[in-house]
Structure 1
């Protein structure tokens, strides 16, 4: 069932991304910030989700709170039994804001321009691995009644890297803590602004 949800959400994301590239082409032409592109993608995702079984879910930019107002955190295993607790806010998430305990988190998206440092990009990839794991510590078991202490169980993680020089977007899809697939999408620019 989770695999089916992954496929459905990947399709929704791909349609929203296609809408972004086709309808918000001017944002790519002016080489706007990651935050601006995330805001535009948020709107396109929201429009696509409204037409699906996920219509009650929210799309939020840099959301950093859990139910009850606590900061969102994730756990990265450093070396057993030591756990590294990290405060997080993804560039863009699709979630129920704690209203659907059965499946609160659907999509986590991290966006980067290709000229950012390798360490920044790798941190985003590691965050997506952690967020898409079924358990934040490989021991917590979903009981269907309460949300975990630390964020996990996103059905799909998306790493989205924009390369204006090559006019392409490299997309990596994460599922259950692992990189599942990658793709490259081309886009056209009418204006070649240098900055």
Structure 2
């Protein structure tokens, strides 16, 4: 938190904040032995492949998250965390 405080204190773009958080998540995953899982930003925003998540009722949702922590389809469960980030200064 200390080394990234300047990013929070300044009016830095959401994309930059996502990148800093992705870096920290990957560091934590590695330190905690979750070597088959990765944090990626802006997953599938620039191509036609869409990540899908099923809810408890079996309904499938297409997602384009800011950050996703997942195994890149190598483990079950694949998706551990999906984040959509918004700065407090973002338009409502």
The interval holding the TM-score normalised by the smaller chain is 0.7 to 0.9
Correspondence for 1:98 = 73
Correspondence for 1:34 = 14
The verdict on how the C-alpha distance between 1:75 and 1:59 changes in structure 2, with shifts beyond 3 A counting, is: closer
Correspondence for 2:50 = 71
Deviation at 1:43? 0.6
Deviation at 1:74? 4.8
Hey, which of these two has a bigger chunk of strand by percent?
A: 1
For structure 1, list consecutive stretches of 5 or more residues without a partner in the other structure.
Answer: 1-20, 77-82, 119-195
Aligned-partner SS, 1:107: strand
8 Å Cα contact 2:36/2:74 also seen in 1:
no
Greater RCO structure (CA 8 Å; 6+ sep) = 2
Correspondence for 1:89 = 64
What TM-score, normalized by structure 2, do the two folds share? 0.77
Correspondence for 1:160 = none
Q: Distance in 2 between matches of 1:41 and 1:70?
A: 24
Q: Distance in 1 between matches of 2:14 and 2:90?
A: 11
Q: Distance in 2 between matches of 1:55 and 1:107?
A: 15
| Stretches of 4+ aligned residues off by more than 6 angstroms | none
The verdict on how the C-alpha distance between 1:117 and 1:75 changes in structure 2, with shifts beyond 3 A counting, is: farther
> Residue 30 of structure 2 is aligned with which of 42, 46, 50?
50
- Structure of greater Rg: 1
What TM-score, normalized by structure 1, do the two folds share? 0.39
Q: Distance in 2 between matches of 1:115 and 1:30?
A: 12
Hey, which of these two has a bigger chunk of helix by percent?
A: 1
Deviation at 1:64? 2.4
Matches within 5 A, 1:172-183: none
Correspondence for 1:109 = 83
